[in-house]
Amino acid sequence: MKLRCAVLDDYQSVAGTAADWSPVADDVEVVGFADHCATEDELGARLAEFDIVVTLRERVPFPATLIERLPRLRLIVASGMRNASIDHAAAERHGITVCGTASTATPPVELTWALLLGLARGLVAEANSLREGGPWQSTVGADLYGRRLGILGLGKIGGRVAAVGRAFGMDVVAWSENLTAERAEEAGAGFIASKEELLETSDFVSVHLVLSDRTRGLLGAKELALMRPGSYLVNTSRAAIVDQDALLDVLRRGAIAGAGIDVFDIEPLPGDHPMRSAPRLLATPHLGYVSQANYAAYYGDAVEDIRAYLDGKPVRRLG
């Protein structure tokens, strides 16, 4: 009898074609789900008859309470090589192997700049106006050259965002709790001693921090109030780093010029979520990692992980 593999949140129904699944076809029945389970009860019911689960990023939590409800589950494959939404200790207690996949930082870097440029030049409003017969030119774009780009988090993604900022002729500066002046200089960014100074002096602020107890709620009402009225905020990292209610407040009041957001406190966003109608907001449905190359890496490695597990030699183990 074949093992059953669930591929979660395959919204575009492309998991089956993004990689060659033939290496496991004789042993595994693969079932893709194009919708999202909003509750643990729904997910528990869906996965009750599956032995393997492939999950994207940290979108679906696997706490101990869920793992205990899935006695058939033997293997979880999570895209990327870090996943804080899986209770790895609980998985180990229940004999579940957890594996990761390769991923690339390029797609979120590119989306960061798509959002930043879209905000700066009013692209959505102007494009919609042109299509709908509206006014010919209704906005005046914000320049990038000579403006300050403040980066929160100068790791792999933040460092690449900094390189693009320099190419635009921007004054690039960075801050994070552990960032040193030497590391900032190596990445081609100026070192800012505090997040408060970065927020006060930057025209564009881009968030590239890992979500942790230290960064959760890092930008709240007090911090956002430091930003200039003409400044922009971009977050393609994790929603919980920026207080969502505080962000909605500054957008509604026009306290900042705009925000580009790809991550949200609830995903997918409910139809009546205030982020869907907030002013001065350019929002995308968590597209940071969604690219052809990344999907090929995710699902290609998922097939390898499953084959290796079936052969008794698991690879890319997490936990």
Active-site residues, by number, are 238, 267, 286
Reference 4, options 29, 33, 34; nearest CA is 29
| Cα–chain center distance at 111 | 10
Please report where in the chains the tokens 């052809």 appear, as a residue: 292
Phi, psi (deg, nearest 5) at residue 186: -60, -35
Q: What is the spatial distance between Cα 39 and Cα 206, in angstroms, rounded to a whole number? A: 31
The helix/strand/coil state of 315 is coil
The CA-atom distances, in angstroms, between 49 and each of 62, 92, 97, 287 are 16, 20, 17, 30
Among left, alpha and beta (phi > 0; psi -120 to 50; other), residue 249 is alpha
Reference 196, options 205, 188, 187; nearest CA is 205
**For the CA atoms of 174, 175, 179, 183, what is the dihedral angle to 10 degrees?**
10
Q: Can you spell out the DSSP letters for 259-308?
A: EEE---SSSSPPTT-GGGT-TTEEE-SS-TT-SHHHHHHHHHHHHHHHHH
